[in-house]
Structure 1
Amino acid sequence: MVCCLLVLLTGCGRAQQESAQATAAEDAVTLTVFAAASLTDAFGEIKSVFQAANPGVTVAFNFAGSNQLATQIGEGAPADVFASANAAQMDAAVESGRIDADAAAIFATNRLVVVYPADNPAGIAALPDLAAPDTLIVLAAEEVPAGRYSLEFLNLASADPALGASFKEAVLGNVASYEENVRSVLNKVSLGEADAGIVYASDLIGVEDVASLEIPGALNVVAEYPIASLNDSAQAEAAAGFIALLLSDKGQTILANYGFGPIR
């Protein structure tokens, strides 16, 4: 009789444990975040903080150029949150109908910087050096936010008498390749496959095999990063929480630690 009772109790315990595990599995949530490649490192820490505060929620990232992400959203790719490196790609996602027109909020800013290998084979010391003949330059493609911002910088620079009207044309004449995202630009420079490139200030955090040249404020472009949840997301609550973390003091501090500027 005692043996039968123990068997029954053991069976009940297992059943309760299995039921609890099944319930936990059913309650588990995966939050899919589409994010600009320049956010890779900062969002890694944001993920850890968010998941610690939200047990049962797993954040899955899709990092790429914002233009690629906007295209994927327009084609119906499953996503819950979109963090873009510029307004144009967020607008494209809005036009797809999957993000409401008033949903986006700016959560970070960034600035451009010239980057070159640490051993500096081309002797890059000032902006005019980018226009010197036979200097190998890599830029993000025009379709990518970093590429668009880079062209804006070159337009401003060519209007500066100190650099001259031919500066943009000379720099573009030195471009060896246009990359699909800003991280690819940084990688090519760090590997010594280019003499210089233009990336975000945030891309330099923790990178030791490159050096940088500041672009003066009058010629620089402030990149604004908008974020929004998708209106067809099945994880609306988790998406709102993720965005709220980014906009909070804690989230802003994490972003600042990775080289991003404050919300203006």
Structure 2
Amino acid sequence: MSGAGTAVLLALSACSSSSGSDPASDSAGSASSSAAPVSGRVTVFAAASLEESFTALGDTFEKRHPGTAVTFNFAGSDTLAASITSGAPADVFASASPRTMATVTDAGATAATPAPSTFVRNELEIATLPGNPDRIASLKDLGASGLKVVLCDETVPCGAAARKALEAGGLDLTPVSYEQDVKSALTKIELKEADAALVYKTDVRAVGDKVTGVPFPEAAQAVNDYPIALLEDAPNAAAAKAFIELVKSAEGQRVLTGAGFRTP
């Protein structure tokens, strides 16, 4: 009788232990099972300066969600905004400035939930020829006679930021050319068609030793916020939301700050 009683008690103890085994594990399992799987193509329109970091995050997203494919359109934010408001099919828009995002939002092209929000910030740096042969050490040095300087067009975020920085430094500068996005401006230096350009710090870092970066204090007066949004007519809203969540997650932020972006 004593042995039978002991067996019953052990059985009851085992059942009790199993039903309340590990709350954290049970919670994780529940969360995993409740997460709706995503699939299909996700089309992301993103500022040119996001190319390297977003491409890496796209690879991560596809591995995490088998059956998905992330397609990117990288260009100047204003060009992308114009395409979206003209009806170009896309799921996500990541802009290099709130002003450009506002263009899309004001046209009713962004979803109300989740609302557009800033996910990173970026600041300018002077890109020079490798080794900085012209010995550029400050923003004012860009005004030296004979120096060929390239800027982004003022209609795009990197150009608007450059104008703010130049005004903060009291420098009236006429560039040899205005480019439609930051990558085009940087290419002018890589091809030795110009001596210096005002571009994002992230882009200087991305090209390695093809250029030399020179920081300058006035850049703090022209920091750009980067907002991201789900688009109202997104063909694949579920996957788009999941991609935005990855971008804003701790993992996504590590990739972005590793590329030189700043947290909001």
Length-normalised TM-score, structure 2 = 0.81
Give the aligned partner of residue 23 of structure 2.
none
Query: What amino acid does structure 2 have at the position aligned with 1:216?
Result: P
- RMSD of the TM alignment (CA)? 1.6
Q: Which runs of 4+ in 1 moved over 6 A?
A: none
Deviation sequence 1:131-188 (CA, Å, 0-9, x none): 1121111000011100000001111111xxxxxxxx2x2x2x2x00000100111111
Q: Is it true that 1:61 corresponds to 2:108 in the alignment?
A: no
| CA radius of gyration, larger in | 2
CA distance in 2, matches of 1:194, 1:220: 25
CA distance in 2, matches of 1:51, 1:95: 32
CA distance in 2, matches of 1:79, 1:223: 23
Deviation sequence 1:92-128 (CA, Å, 0-9, x none): 0112211146720111111110110014343323222
In structure 2, the CA distance between the partners of 1:238 and 1:181, relative to structure 1 (3 Å rule), is same
Give the aligned partner of residue 232 of structure 1.
233
CA distance in 2, matches of 1:219, 1:64: 24
Query: Residues 125 and 200 of structure 2 are in contact (CA less than 8 Å); yes or no, is this contact kept in structure 1?
Result: yes
In structure 2, the CA distance between the partners of 1:53 and 1:210, relative to structure 1 (3 Å rule), is same
In structure 2, the CA distance between the partners of 1:147 and 1:101, relative to structure 1 (3 Å rule), is farther
Q: Displacement, 1:217?
A: 5.6
CA distance in 2, matches of 1:34, 1:189: 26
Where does the alignment leave 5 or more consecutive residues of structure 1 unmatched?
A: 1-26, 159-166
Number of matched pairs: 225
Q: Displacement, 1:258?
A: 0.8
Percent identity, aligned pairs only, is: 40
Query: Residues 94 and 101 of structure 1 are in contact (CA less than 8 Å); yes or no, is this contact kept in structure 2?
Result: no
SS at 2:123's partner residue?
Answer: strand
Decide which of 123, 131, 139 is 1:127's aligned counterpart.
139
Decide which of 110, 113, 128 is 2:122's aligned counterpart.
110
Deviation sequence 1:192-238 (CA, Å, 0-9, x none): 11111001111122421211111116754211100001111121110
Query: Residues 73 and 96 of structure 1 are in contact (CA less than 8 Å); yes or no, is this contact kept in structure 2?
Result: no
Where does the alignment leave 5 or more consecutive residues of structure 2 unmatched?
A: 1-37
Query: What amino acid does structure 2 have at the position aligned with 1:205?
Result: R
CA distance in 2, matches of 1:109, 1:39: 11
Give the aligned partner of residue 196 of structure 2.
196
